[in-house]
């Protein structure tokens, strides 16, 4: 058992970190550049604008849609996808109010970070974005690795005495939210970023709570802790 009795597992992109203003546009620009270099017959500006328009619509499969629009092959789409996922987007800070929220919660819960993506890029974001003592653990999963968010959430639940002591916060109903629900955890969906307009595909993707601003999560966590007080006393 750890020092604190409750844990919050936070997703990074579009949950704690707003990717819409800098990371996403820069990544689409890198992808557009890579697609031109791979032979796509259009300008970088045209491709970038098309990709951004698709992203604004919440489209899935942007690399393939873009390659198809400009007559490119699958290898062009793959070049775009690789660049989108791996390009170093530089320093993009987590907003100060988000850090302050985590610090206010820290005496009452332990924070864990769980993110999937290009390993070097995700680690760089964590390194730039947070002070060293804010998170009890940081998990960066490669998309190509078999380890899943569900497995990490299960490990955290085991460390804290069960899923009833863990809250998962994220923006993707098909990832961290469904994983948390599978384990019987409280799940909080933050409807921000590229998945904000996504509708749930099954009851398992329905979060316990839904908010449209990450800063509203603090009140939900405090309510969760207050209502869990009796169970906590029983455990002692």
Q: Residue 56 has which token pair?
A: 């604004």
Q: With respect to Mg ion, which residue has the nearer C-beta, 14 or 18? A: 14
Q: In whole angstroms, how close is the CB of 170 to Mg ion at the nearest point?
A: 6
Q: With respect to Mg ion, which residue has the nearer C-beta, 35 or 188? A: 188
* Of 224, 235, 233, nearest in space to 185 by CA: 224
> In 3-state terms, what secondary structure has residue 17?
strand
Q: In whole angstroms, how close is the CB of 21 to Mg ion at the nearest point?
A: 15
Q: With respect to Mg ion, which residue has the nearer C-beta, 14 or 205? A: 14
Q: In whole angstroms, how close is the CB of 11 to Mg ion at the nearest point?
A: 4
**Is-contact 171 148, C-beta < 8 A?**
no
Element (H, E) at 232: helix 229-235
Give the start-end residues of each E strand in the chain: 7-10, 110-116, 135-141, 166-170, 186-190, 209-211
Q: In whole angstroms, how close is the CB of 12 to Mg ion at the nearest point?
A: 6
Q: In whole angstroms, how close is the CB of 15 to Mg ion at the nearest point?
A: 5
Element (H, E) at 194: none
CA 197: distance to chain centroid?
A: 15
Q: With respect to Mg ion, which residue has the nearer C-beta, 63 or 171? A: 171
* Of 147, 148, 167, nearest in space to 157 by CA: 167
Q: With respect to Mg ion, which residue has the nearer C-beta, 171 or 205? A: 171
Which residue number has the CB closest to Mg ion? 13
User: By the criterion CB under 5 A, which residues form the site for Mg ion?
Assistant: 11, 13-14, 171
């Amino acid at each position: 058992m750890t020092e604190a009795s409750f844990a919050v597992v936070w997703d990074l992109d579009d949950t704690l970190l707003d990717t819409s203003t800098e990371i996403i546009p820069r990544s689409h620009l890198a992808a557009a550049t890579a697609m031109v270099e791979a032979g796509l017959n259009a300008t970088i500006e045209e491709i970038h604008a098309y990709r951004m328009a698709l992203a604004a619509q919440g489209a899935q499969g942007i690399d393939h849609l873009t390659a198809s629009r400009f007559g490119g092959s699958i290898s062009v789409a793959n070049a775009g996808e690789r660049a989108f996922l791996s390009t170093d987007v530089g320093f993009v800070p987590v907003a100060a109010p988000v850090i302050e929220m985590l610090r206010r919660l820290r005496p009452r819960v332990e924070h864990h970070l769980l993110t999937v993506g290009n390993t070097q890029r995700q680690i760089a974001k964590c390194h730039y974005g947070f002070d060293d003592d804010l998170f009890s653990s940081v998990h960066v999963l490669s998309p190509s690795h078999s380890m899943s968010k569900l497995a990490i959430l299960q490990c955290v639940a085991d460390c804290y005495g069960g899923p009833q002591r863990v809250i998962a916060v994220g923006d993707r109903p098909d990832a961290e939210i469904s994983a948390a629900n599978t384990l019987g955890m409280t799940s909080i969906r933050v409807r921000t970023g590229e998945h904000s307009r996504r509708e749930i595909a099954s009851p398992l993707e329905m979060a316990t709570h839904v908010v449209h601003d990450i800063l509203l999560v603090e009140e939900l966590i405090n309510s969760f802790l207050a209502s869990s007080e009796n169970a906590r006393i029983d455990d002692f």
